[in-house]
Amino acid sequence: MQAPATVVQLVLLVLLVLPGVTYQFVRERRRGPVPGERDLGERVLRAIVASIALDALYAVVAGPALVRLARGAGGGWDGFVDRPRVVGFVAVVLFLVVPAMAAVTVSLVDRQRRKARFLRTPSAWDHAFRDREPCFVRVRLKDGNWAGGWYGNRSYASSYPHPAELYLESARVMGADGAFGVRVRGTAGLRLRAEDFDVLEFVEPGEPVTVPEEER
């Protein structure tokens, strides 16, 4: 695909893509990510479809006025040069303001139709670790054993859309019932993958164990 060689081609490219990109961006921010739009090609296709719909609406509502604005007084396509401020203002309205307002309106209507309330946090995993204070964490592995440790300031939890993984800055010896034991000697941390366990529990410091000095 060659780059646009003339101003007209560049304008046509902007007309085709930019309104839909604005609509898609605001719509995703209001609605949140969905599995069907994780693919870049799918998102581009949706943006192009939205652009075509908006461009068609512009042509029906204000087509003649937009053509007169673009052609200018000389009859050519000198309107972009003769009245740059007016053209710039109209471009902002058509490419940014109108698509954004359309996305907000569609999101509000869609939200009123749904019984469930949407949170921008994309998954329960992200919600659990968002603003998480230091605490003990234990997981039950799929083989029935327990693993756990201290989730502190040097710990880390991945976020959407990356696979759910957890790094605990120190590990603990775990009992058969999931009870926390002593700190593993020489521990430099523990990495856990969500696909390897079926239960995740956060335990506040002091209940049922007291935060030791080495974890402070």
In a domain, 119, yes or no: no
pLDDT at 207: 54
- Select the more confidently predicted residue: 20 or 30: 20
For the record, the structure tokens of 174 come out as 């775990």
Residues 51 and 146 both lie in one domain? no
The tens digit of pLDDT for each residue in 188-198 reads 999 999 999 99
* Domain CATH number, residue 131: 2.30.30.100
Q: Are 104 and 112 in contact (CB under 8 A)?
A: no
In a domain, 41, yes or no: yes
In a domain, 89, yes or no: yes
In a domain, 46, yes or no: yes
Task: Answer yes or no: is pLDDT of 211 > 80.
Answer: no
Mean pLDDT of 129-154: 92
Residues 108 and 128 both lie in one domain? no
User: Of 113, 134, 162, at which residue does a domain stop?
Assistant: 113
Mean pLDDT of 5-17: 67
For the record, the structure tokens of 82 come out as 């003769």
Residues 145 and 197 both lie in one domain? yes
In a domain, 179, yes or no: yes
Residue 135: count other Cβ atoms within 10 Å of its Cβ.
16
What are the DSSP calls for 28-92, one per residue? HHHH---GGGSSHHHHHHHHHHHHHHHHHHHHHHHHHHHHHHHH-TTSSS-HHHH-HHHHHHHHH
User: Of 87, 113, 139, at which residue does a domain stop?
Assistant: 113
pLDDT at 202: 93
pLDDT at 215: 61
Residues 84 and 131 both lie in one domain? no
The tens digit of pLDDT for each residue in 68-109 reads 877 766 666 666 677 778 888 888 898 899 999 998 888 888
Residues 131 and 166 both lie in one domain? yes
pLDDT at 45: 82
Task: Answer yes or no: is pLDDT of 1 > 90.
Answer: no
User: Of 81, 113, 145, at which residue does a domain stop?
Assistant: 113
In a domain, 1, yes or no: no
The separation between CA 167 and the C-alpha centre of its own chain, rounded to angstroms, equals 23
pTM for this predicted structure: 0.50
Task: Answer yes or no: is pLDDT of 162 > 90.
Answer: no
Phi, psi of 123 (to 5 degrees): -155, 160
Confidence of residue 216 (pLDDT cuts 50, 70, 90): low
Residues 104 and 129 both lie in one domain? no
Tally of domains within the chain: 2
Which domain, by its residues, includes 30?
Answer: 7-113
Percentage of the chain modeled with pLDDT above 70: 76
Residues 76 and 12 both lie in one domain? yes
- Nearest residue to 203 (alpha-carbon basis) of 184, 179, 182, 185: 179
